[in-house]
Structure 1
């Protein structure tokens, strides 16, 4: 490890004499003197680049390595919608028309294209998520509409129900005969699911559950598919058993899920006792009909309890394989992680689209330049490279991380391993939070990078930003999800000192308590050579060192504050520290997967390009938090300066292959759609759009 290894004390990639300030100045001067004249200077190339070989990227080879086995399914979906112009979403569309179109788009996917999403989700989750990304390329509203129908409504049947529920509902959900919704969130409770107030009281006389909304705060809110199209809802409610509590009081068995019909199957009329209202126009995703539901003594059969983790017999007796309310609740929510996996996966797709548009426009648009010489591309400016190239690198990093997440999720669904389920729960929480937050910020940067033309609705940034923004909130608020990651890290930390085992996903914590927490090596802290800084071992060690220091220090702070503030107060006092810890840990996981993907690439030239992109991702993240590394003397001042310079250089190198890197995302022009983001004739399509 970089902090404790016995590597040579010399600085890799540079001479010992370079350690003096005078020699470093001479070296920098010589690089300037070596800068060639001519075209290179017209591109504002960094002087240090003159003596280095330019990489060549093959977009087709990159795409072949990136796309994986699911590209055929995605191509099938793209081709289907491209061939049906009436199913493509126009730039301007009223809410009512958008909702109607979105349902037709989903129905056509199932009934005309023959894609059966629920079957895919059950048999091959990775293929299902690939379909989700593809339909999101057509319209993010469609991706969310499909997700509500299949990940949430259908997923609740698969994951929380038993054989009788699957036999009755599976095929009709899959073929869209039973459109449904997922009624968890309430007006007063979103992330705190355990505090939901809707009740489901068992009536032993009639063998039914009675669903009630006890107050306005318990109205189910933001329920997708509810306002117009849903015929059923999976309703999360407190299971109440009369006379079974202490002293003959009702017993509250905690949160359970129930199938509640909300509209007549034939007439589509709202059923008695149910009130449905439209949540109205939103800032995005207006193809999804979000509604609010209130229940007044709505009766459903006892069999409509989704009873995988808890059941009620005819005589009212409650049974469960799990001994406590908390364990049942954890198991229930643990089966719903597919929604978070899907959002993380789809968010990467949105980032790819935004980056592609911004990079292609930056290559196309020319502005200013040296006196009496042609204007240069906007992407030749260092400031523009600083905005977009780390973002492009992040899109690649996230691509490989999401593949790892889906693989773990698929393995979890096959094995039902409890430890793996716990890992996937936390991993999906962290990646969903980190990726969606990053993408949301990046879309705005991409819009700014395209100047006034980025403000045109036809160039899509406004729609992407507004449609994607809610990704940070639903399926778990990002701040809440990061706290789950931090909580799990602290649990692993505690188990380490108690001699317990550490889960596979966080395996580097085994070493972190000793190796990573030791005093930084004063020699390696000064190494500034490029070979050292681009060594994946150094990069990963740096990420893990930071995470380990944060974990160790927050554990100590929590222990200190618990004495005076109690558990909740201590957690709140350290909350920002905990969120930083969680983000640092997730960055470590993303980098580890990227490094592995680089090593696994069979084509040497492609591997070399991916290594360049991976280095930029890693060193840009280190530079962004250089204060942390400086504060603990992990990085000396000269090394910090070298990292900064290398990030600029790598951004320039990535700029030289930026066209190929975005082309390798393999997104058809009909999916990109923004005139300024087309592979060719961008201005021609843009001017034609406004009538020239």
Structure 2
């Protein structure tokens, strides 16, 4: 260290320099408006906020702004900080009615014409109120989506327009008190009466009460009810035949008076941890009769004489096809979770850029984001938000392609696995990250006006509904094992697992002991190394769990072996999804047309990739994929990349382009963060 550096540090003696690693401290503890620390370079002159924002801006941003600004301009439609559940639920239905019936937004039409535009509208609705976003999803993705995707033309002609314009508010009655994820074990029955040409809907026990049904408690007039289709006298020996789970449109309230219809009991499920703007109810049916035409009969139908027909030969295939058509809900949740993550990270990073605390002796206090520990908390999270945004866009584009092709079984299977995995992975990551963001903002993070409490509580259920995350990861793992088996039987791999098509052998061979020791920065920041590392880990996990299952099945049977390997299987599924996310991020970086923006995104992508490797460095060490010296180099580089991303944190956050009225947290505003703080808390 030069004498000039020593005199500028506020230190008095060389002895102090040896006691404290001042060169390192000065690099980390400089105020953000000080000269760039020694050895640090801002890529290509730094981040161009306008260029980044333009690149991140979705192609439907004008529609998003129109929807959001419509509500912002009407104070009576804005959600107060504190609101009783009943009032919150009424406000959400007024907000939805205003957007649909006054502003002319047609969500179901958007979904049919361009799913990406529908999801863009969902993002802006979530900015207004997450409860409103979930209510929108229940009405259009679930109730509307089930009628359109599981029904036939007669159902579309009868229901589409009235669902679209909110004349027919409805709900999605799948989950029961005793059964959620195990949909095939639902107990509600729909028994065909050939005399009256009707189905009779019954709740046979308390455990079969439809539970956690959004919009059921107050506003829905219809329900898509999932029930066991029973055909009397058509089973063996004249017994009733159970044809498996089917979906039925069941009116639950009078269209004119809104009175609950005979044979139906509706109760509110009570106050929840979050999302109390959604009226979540319980439904019980007692001999409720509906016309035969109310069966959503795309995959199975019952004729007037009671004869059952289907284009699919087995109950299991019909069930899989039915659930496959409902994947849009998982796509929406994965995408919405990214929006919530971006919001939480925006608040935390802007606060960390504003708040000053401690610092070198006799010098101004420094900003929180200049502390290495703070960078370690928030910068990889910021990088993940970018990675997830690109992955979410890829998921929506792939889903949209699937809806256009309609008959591509491989693509449908790919979307099913992709949606299950991304919904699980992203929502779990976001749930943990919100708490870290709250903690990083200290006492101000605990203030309700700064929103971490509501974001955490409203988002928490994302890990559960539309499929429990642990169950969804098992679906991903099961698909990977099927693909693995097909590979070794000479079959064709699906697109989900296509990166093994040409390289399974190399992934399963022993790692190269020379490359395991390479630690140069150029090598570590090479996207080929990063992606190979992610895929190698996944391949080894797949190979080892397949061997374990084969061995354990001999003594424990299929279910017992699966249960014994369950943690291994979950790690495998997460590793696979991480590989897909990184691959997409790398593709986006390569395709970015602006050189400066591309360099910035490359930096963020490097941090995402290397932080992912470092977090699982034990696995790479156990596999001899990374030698000790290389592991140490990765750790150092992650710290340095976090620091470099910190230098551009403001621009990276601003590029999310979330309006201040959507952020709402006083500490997270783009400017004048403290200006109205006292007003927010009523001082």
> Structure 2-normalised TM-score?
0.95
Contact kept? 2:41, 2:644, Cα under 8 Å: no
Distance 1:41 1:278, change over 3 A: closer
SS in 1 for 2:599: helix
CA distance in 2, matches of 1:302, 1:49: 74
Q: 2:41 aligns with which of 34, 47, 53?
A: 53
CA distance in 1, matches of 2:63, 2:162: 23
Match of 2:94 in 1: 104
Match of 2:9 in 1: none
SS in 2 for 1:291: strand
Q: 2:617 aligns with which of 621, 626, 631?
A: 626
Q: Give a deviation string over 1:415-444, Cα, whole Å, max 9, x none.
A: 011111011001000000000000000000
Q: 1:523 aligns with which of 495, 514, 530?
A: 514
SS in 2 for 1:515: helix
Matches of residues 400-411 of structure 1 in structure 2 within 5 Å?
A: 400-411=390-401
CA distance in 1, matches of 2:626, 2:605: 20
Distance 1:612 1:342, change over 3 A: same
Match of 1:686 in 2: 677
Distance 1:648 1:237, change over 3 A: same
Gaps of at least 5 residues in structure 1 are: 1-28
Q: 1:182 aligns with which of 151, 166, 172?
A: 172
Match of 1:22 in 2: none
Q: Stretches of 4+ moved more than 3 A in 1?
A: 32-41, 43-49
Contact kept? 2:81, 2:449, Cα under 8 Å: yes
CA distance in 1, matches of 2:80, 2:276: 13
Distance 1:379 1:396, change over 3 A: same
Pairwise CA distance, 1:310: 0.2
Pairwise CA distance, 1:689: 1.9
Match of 1:305 in 2: 295
Match of 2:109 in 1: 119
Query: Is it true that 1:372 corresponds to 2:367 in the alignment?
Result: no
Pairwise CA distance, 1:690: 2.6
Query: Is it true that 1:533 corresponds to 2:524 in the alignment?
Result: yes
CA distance in 2, matches of 1:422, 1:566: 27
Match of 1:3 in 2: none
SS in 1 for 2:513: coil
CA distance in 1, matches of 2:503, 2:166: 50
Match of 1:643 in 2: 634
Contact kept? 1:182, 1:234, Cα under 8 Å: yes
CA distance in 1, matches of 2:671, 2:32: 24
Matches of residues 218-237 of structure 1 in structure 2 within 5 Å?
A: 218-237=208-227
Matches of residues 76-91 of structure 1 in structure 2 within 5 Å?
A: 76-91=66-81
SS in 2 for 1:683: coil
Pairwise CA distance, 1:105: 0.7
Q: Kindly report the root-mean-square deviation, in angstroms, between the aligned alpha carbons of the 2 structures.
A: 1.8
Contact kept? 2:448, 2:454, Cα under 8 Å: yes
Contact kept? 2:29, 2:359, Cα under 8 Å: no
SS in 2 for 1:288: coil
Query: Is it true that 1:245 corresponds to 2:235 in the alignment?
Result: yes
Match of 2:4 in 1: none
* Larger RCO (CA within 8 A; separation ≥ 6): 1
Match of 2:539 in 1: 548
CA distance in 2, matches of 1:497, 1:680: 58
Q: Give a deviation string over 1:153-197, Cα, whole Å, max 9, x none.
A: 000111000000000000000000000000000000000000000
CA distance in 1, matches of 2:117, 2:566: 37
Matches of residues 352-363 of structure 1 in structure 2 within 5 Å?
A: 352-363=342-353
Total equivalences in the alignment: 662
Distance 1:592 1:46, change over 3 A: farther
Contact kept? 1:36, 1:50, Cα under 8 Å: no
Query: Is it true that 1:322 corresponds to 2:321 in the alignment?
Result: no
SS in 1 for 2:356: coil
Q: Give a deviation string over 1:392-420, Cα, whole Å, max 9, x none.
A: 00000000001111111001101011111
Matches of residues 154-169 of structure 1 in structure 2 within 5 Å?
A: 154-169=144-159
Match of 2:372 in 1: 382
Q: 1:672 aligns with which of 663, 670, 678?
A: 663
Q: 1:482 aligns with which of 456, 460, 473?
A: 473
Match of 2:588 in 1: 597
Q: Give a deviation string over 1:246-290, Cα, whole Å, max 9, x none.
A: 000000000000000000000000000000010011010000000
Contact kept? 1:512, 1:544, Cα under 8 Å: no
Gaps of at least 5 residues in structure 2 are: 1-16
SS in 1 for 2:495: coil
Distance 1:284 1:326, change over 3 A: same
CA distance in 1, matches of 2:36, 2:469: 41
Distance 1:157 1:576, change over 3 A: same
Match of 1:443 in 2: 434
Pairwise CA distance, 1:448: 0.3
Pairwise CA distance, 1:513: 2.3
CA distance in 2, matches of 1:578, 1:37: 43
Contact kept? 2:29, 2:360, Cα under 8 Å: no
Match of 1:461 in 2: 452
CA distance in 1, matches of 2:149, 2:29: 60
Match of 1:145 in 2: 135
SS in 2 for 1:500: coil
Pairwise CA distance, 1:44: 9.5
Match of 1:20 in 2: none
Contact kept? 2:188, 2:204, Cα under 8 Å: yes
Contact kept? 2:417, 2:496, Cα under 8 Å: no
Query: Is it true that 1:42 corresponds to 2:30 in the alignment?
Result: yes
Query: Is it true that 1:259 corresponds to 2:249 in the alignment?
Result: yes
Pairwise CA distance, 1:510: 1.7
CA distance in 1, matches of 2:386, 2:217: 38
Pairwise CA distance, 1:52: 3.8
Pairwise CA distance, 1:367: 0.2
CA distance in 1, matches of 2:385, 2:518: 29
Q: 1:209 aligns with which of 199, 211, 221?
A: 199
Match of 1:269 in 2: 259
SS in 2 for 1:314: coil
Contact kept? 1:46, 1:649, Cα under 8 Å: no
Contact kept? 1:344, 1:402, Cα under 8 Å: yes
Q: Give a deviation string over 1:578-623, Cα, whole Å, max 9, x none.
A: 0000000000000000000000100000000000000000000000
Match of 2:575 in 1: 584
SS in 2 for 1:272: coil
Pairwise CA distance, 1:551: 0.1
CA distance in 2, matches of 1:65, 1:430: 26
SS in 2 for 1:506: helix
SS in 1 for 2:60: helix
Match of 2:5 in 1: none
